[in-house]
């Protein structure tokens, strides 16, 4: 079985960034979601010097997902802008690695097929990986109130979003803040009716596909209240890997707990 068949192609570009106090990639992934994992490993936020295992700390860790189709990477300028915004806000400078170098290496390795390039970075690039990608169908959705949830950057720490999703029996959730629709746990939303395509103005994360479609005039920002969801027919899900035309959508009638 080759690496593509296994579904995971990794490139550790900065292993030393993970080896802080003996921290491995696996422990990073788990610790970022579970403080107990830090304690069991004899680690703390202080011992990691703000390495980003808690996004509320001084030095959070971020992730970025980039679509590669038949060797071509999409929305690179928007990805770079988002990464630079996060790095500038928390580290006072733009990212210190060349995104094009990362993307080009995978483009040469995997010239055919749909792949998800994932980067993990903080003060520097920690790791990248490239996986074959297939979007999951979404039929049922559940409204999940979370007024205090903050996901303004694409943090590696997704504990709150993951907890909301785990508490739902539906295929996906729609996060509700102060009575207004925001995003799902994995994607921005586009609501469709006879008047057009509308994305919630109060999104949790300004996704790159959302930004692209807004710039093109394909979708329009609009405050969408829970009370007027019934005015729409279809909910479409979009993110860096999922386009409008990919058909990842559901009817508003498939909301399991409409208000």
Question: What's the pLDDT at 59?
Answer: 84
Edge-first strand order for the sheet with 62-69 is 9-11, 125-132, 114-121, 62-69, 72-73
Give pLDDT tens digits for 219-258: 999 999 999 999 999 999 999 999 999 999 999 999 998 6
- 49 vs 124, higher pLDDT: 124
Does pLDDT of 218 surpass 70? yes
What is the architecture of the domain spanning 141-254? Alpha-Beta Barrel (3.20)
DSSP annotation of 61 reads -
**Domain limits, the chain:** 3-132, 141-254
Give pLDDT tens digits for 129-174: 999 999 999 999 999 999 999 999 999 999 999 999 999 999 999 9
User: In 3D, which of 18, 52, 249 has the Cα closest to residue 140?
Assistant: 249
In contact, 183 and 236? CB cutoff 8 Å: no
DSSP line for 156-208: S--HHHHHHHHT--SSEEEEEETTEEEEESSSEEEEEETTEEEEETT-SS--H
Q: Which residues of 123-134 are buried (b: 16+ CB within 10 A; e: fewer)?
A: bebbbbbbbebe
Please, what is the average pLDDT of the chain? 84
In contact, 222 and 198? CB cutoff 8 Å: yes
Mean pLDDT over residues 203-216, rounded?
A: 98
Question: What's the pLDDT at 258?
Answer: 66
CA–CA distance, 93 with 107 (Å, rounded to integer): 27
Give pLDDT tens digits for 3-58: 443 344 455 444 434 433 333 444 344 333 334 433 333 333 333 333 444 555 56
Question: What's the pLDDT at 83?
Answer: 98
Question: What's the pLDDT at 55?
Answer: 55
CATH of domain 3-132: 3.30.470.10
Does pLDDT of 77 surpass 90? yes
Give pLDDT tens digits for 82-114: 999 999 999 999 999 999 999 999 999 999 999
Q: What is the pTM of this model?
A: 0.81
Edge-first strand order for the sheet with 141-145 is 141-145, 172-177, 180-184
């Amino acid at each position: 079985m080759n690496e593509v068949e296994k579904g995971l192609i990794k490139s550790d570009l900065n292993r030393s960034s993970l080896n802080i106090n003996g921290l491995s990639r696996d422990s990073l992934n788990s610790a970022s979601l579970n403080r107990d994992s830090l304690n069991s490993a004899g680690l703390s936020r202080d011992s990691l010097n703000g390495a980003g295992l808690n996004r509320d700390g001084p030095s959070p860790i971020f992730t970025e997902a980039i679509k590669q189709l038949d060797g071509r990477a999409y929305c690179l300028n928007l990805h770079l802008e988002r990464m630079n915004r996060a790095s500038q806000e928390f580290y006072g400078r733009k990212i210190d690695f060349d995104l094009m170098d990362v993307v080009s290496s995978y483009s040469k390795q995997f010239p055919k097929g749909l792949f998800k390039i994932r980067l993990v970075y903080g003060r520097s690039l920690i790791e990248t990986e490239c996986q074959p990608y297939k979007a999951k169908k979404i039929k049922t959705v559940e409204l999940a109130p979370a007024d205090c949830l903050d996901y303004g950057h694409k943090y590696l720490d997704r504990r709150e979003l993951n907890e909301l999703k785990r508490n739902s029996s539906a295929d996906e959730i729609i996060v509700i803040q102060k009575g207004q629709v925001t995003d799902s746990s994995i994607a921005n939303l586009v609501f469709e009716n006879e008047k057009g395509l509308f994305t919630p103005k109060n999104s949790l994360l300004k996704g790159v596909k959302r930004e692209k479609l807004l710039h093109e005039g394909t979708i329009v920002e609009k405050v969408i209240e829970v009370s007027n969801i019934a005015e729409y027919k279809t909910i479409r899900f979009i993110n860096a890997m999922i386009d409008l035309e990919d058909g990842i959508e559901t009817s508003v009638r498939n909301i399991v707990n409409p208000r």
